[in-house]
Structure 1
Amino acid sequence: MQQKANTAKDAQTTEQILNLPVEQIRPFDNHPFQVNDDDELMQQTIDSIMQVGVLNPVIVRPMEDGGYQMVSGHRRLRACELAGIATIPAIARELNDYEAVHLMVDSNIQRENILPSERAKAYRMKMDALKHQGKAAEQTSSQIGTKLRTDEQIAREVGSSRNQVQRFIRLTELLPELLDMVDRKEIAFSPAVELSYLKEEEQRLFLEAMDYSQATPSLSQAQRIKKLSQQGACTQDAMFSIMSEEKKSDMDKLTIKQDVLRKYFPKSYTPLQMQQTIIKLLEQWQKRRQRENSR
């Protein structure tokens, strides 16, 4: 046991911080976390690097064919590229594929403002890595012990429940178009999980049903559509019928189509300007009525 601890300690002390050319570092395959050039956080990172440099080295792993693969630090690397900085401090660590996935996910998953699609893909990558790692261990060891389910292990590591991890992983079964709608909060999380059980063609038909009805699914609607799929009765007409239902939350709403209002406003007016003008006119109308009633 002491020998193993010393080996780990020696490995840590032999790690060096290298100053690597950014062009020698390739991104992590299927990296699930988005790196946006034009968001505020990216600009803050660029400004910080321009002022004081990269304070925390990125972590990379050397590749057999030369160069390095980014494991942790994609945003810092991209900020250097955008700032025109040619090199970046990096720790080169020997990692197998499974270890690299774990480190990549763990170093990003606790970030604030993670999109549902990012969390879903990260959990899926970690689960696949754990499963492959488990199979490899079984082939090289005859020991029999109590093993955690992969989803339960992920839940413990990220501080969530096994059920919630499973639900996020289900989102990876959605079409990219539907997953984007979840990120944009056009489809709520729970209905999206139910829709993930639809076959690919059924999901495409569902997109048409949403467009036809100009409505997003409630949890009840998504559950009924999922049940139709399980029964082999998830037709386009059936989905149109469900999505065209008037929801309780919509019964108190008054909707006026934009093309009805557009003729009363200049072409240059945005929907927000139209709304503000309508509110002002209604306020004036209300005051006029109050004056008339007080006479």
Structure 2
Amino acid sequence: MANPLPNLSRDSLDDLFTTQEQRDDEKLERVNVLQIDEIDNFTDHPYKVRDDAKMDELVDSIENYGIMVPCIVRPKDNGRYEMIAGHRRKHAALRAGITQLPCIVRKLSDDEATILMVDSNSQREQLLPSEKAFAYKMRLDAMKRQAGRPVKKNGAPVEHHFSGMKSRDILSEQVGESKEQVRRYIRLTDLIPELLECVDNSVEKPEDKDALRMALRPAVELSYLTPENQRVVLEFMKSSLTTPSHAQTILLRKMQDDHSFTPQAVFELLQQEKPNQKERVSLSIDKFNRYFPPNTSAKDIEKGIFRALDFYMEAKMRSKGEKEIDRSK
């Protein structure tokens, strides 16, 4: 006797006895309430959680309205959880005296977690160079591992194609930086921490007037120096309260390649006055027009000013000489 019921799969039976709304709801990720002390920070999290004005605003918002956007965590083998997105919310909640967090628990591989962690922070208003440096490197390495390619230090020169694009092209597009700028930031991961802090200071602008600040490009050149040689440069910077120019850092790198890098050679190079350290006085030529006939050219006005200064200095020297003669009588 034939079976009167069709051969239905489990999914087909679910379709018979549930509504479309129920089936759609089953696909949604659940928000779980977790104890904060069960959630560990992301391993080697590259972003700083700062107690600044923005954090104060977040604390106030949580105290008044609660946590509006759930964090994203992944389960760990030991029964705890690892934070993927929500480190600032976690810190603000602790400051507000809250011990639980609404979280989406998502099973992710290490590389998936890294990519999501970087992407969730890439739209923050102000990222420090050090944050971009380590975040971009972590994401690029994860992308390469996902593609099954070997990872080489600083993401170069090993490349691969993914959907017709290289990993660095994809990263550049996603973070809104040129490929060359991404490369520069990743190079910063080879700086010693003290020099990397100088690069961050150029963005944070600390109140300490003696805090050293260094631009991105000179820092990139210094990243090619060995840690020992970087410390030699750092010692000069700390003693002189100055930072090397881009041109000087290029020479420092060449000195290392030529095996002529010594503390004395570094001192002699870096003590030279940089163009941006020389004081300049800019005066509008209009201020001197009333001292010259109409339609006098700027060049003739400049000559006239120097002649007047020469005359003034000669008169001053004559007056000084006459006073010395009078005193000797």
Partner residue in 2 for 1:19: 33
AA paired with 1:241? E
Q: Identify the range of structure 1 (165-174 vs 230-239) with the bigger mean alpha-carbon deviation.
A: 230-239
1:104-158: per-residue Cα shift (whole Å, max 9, x none)? Answer: 0001012111100001010011111112222279xxxxxx987533222211211
User: Would the alpha carbon gap of residues 145 and 180 (structure 1) be closer, same or farther in structure 2, given more than 3 Å must change?
Assistant: closer
Stretches of structure 1 that go unaligned for 5 or more consecutive residues are 1-8, 138-143, 255-295
Partner residue in 2 for 1:179: 196
User: Is the CA contact 1:215–1:244 (under 8 Å) kept in the aligned structure 2?
Assistant: no
Q: Does 1:72 align with 2:89?
A: no
Q: Count matched residues.
A: 239
User: Would the alpha carbon gap of residues 85 and 180 (structure 1) be closer, same or farther in structure 2, given more than 3 Å must change?
Assistant: same
AA paired with 1:103? L
User: Is the CA contact 1:213–1:243 (under 8 Å) kept in the aligned structure 2?
Assistant: no
1:122, 1:108 → 2: CA distance?
9
Q: Does 1:127 align with 2:134?
A: no
Q: Percent identical across equivalent pairs?
A: 43
User: Would the alpha carbon gap of residues 133 and 46 (structure 1) be closer, same or farther in structure 2, given more than 3 Å must change?
Assistant: same
Partner residue in 2 for 1:236: 263
AA paired with 2:197? D
1:30, 1:164 → 2: CA distance?
23
User: Is the CA contact 1:57–1:90 (under 8 Å) kept in the aligned structure 2?
Assistant: yes
User: Would the alpha carbon gap of residues 79 and 183 (structure 1) be closer, same or farther in structure 2, given more than 3 Å must change?
Assistant: same
Residue of 159, 170, 179 corresponding to 1:153: 170
Residue 215 of structure 1: CA displacement?
A: 1.4
Partner residue in 2 for 1:116: 129
User: Would the alpha carbon gap of residues 47 and 17 (structure 1) be closer, same or farther in structure 2, given more than 3 Å must change?
Assistant: same
Partner residue in 2 for 1:214: 241
Residue of 105, 111, 120 corresponding to 1:107: 120
User: Would the alpha carbon gap of residues 12 and 32 (structure 1) be closer, same or farther in structure 2, given more than 3 Å must change?
Assistant: farther
TM-score normalised by length of structure 1: 0.76
TM-score normalised by length of structure 2: 0.69
Residue 229 of structure 1: CA displacement?
A: 1.4
User: Would the alpha carbon gap of residues 201 and 122 (structure 1) be closer, same or farther in structure 2, given more than 3 Å must change?
Assistant: same
Residue 173 of structure 1: CA displacement?
A: 0.3
Partner residue in 1 for 2:184: 167
Q: Identify the range of structure 1 (52-61 vs 127-136) with the bigger mean alpha-carbon deviation.
A: 127-136
Q: What value does the CA root-mean-square deviation take over the aligned residues?
A: 2.2
2:78, 2:108 → 1: CA distance?
15
SS in structure 1 opposite 2:101?
A: strand
AA paired with 1:202? N
User: Would the alpha carbon gap of residues 246 and 58 (structure 1) be closer, same or farther in structure 2, given more than 3 Å must change?
Assistant: same
Partner residue in 2 for 1:140: none
Bigger relative CO (Cα 8 Å, ≥ 6 apart): 1
1:151, 1:51 → 2: CA distance?
42
Flag the structure with larger Rg: 2
User: Would the alpha carbon gap of residues 60 and 251 (structure 1) be closer, same or farther in structure 2, given more than 3 Å must change?
Assistant: same
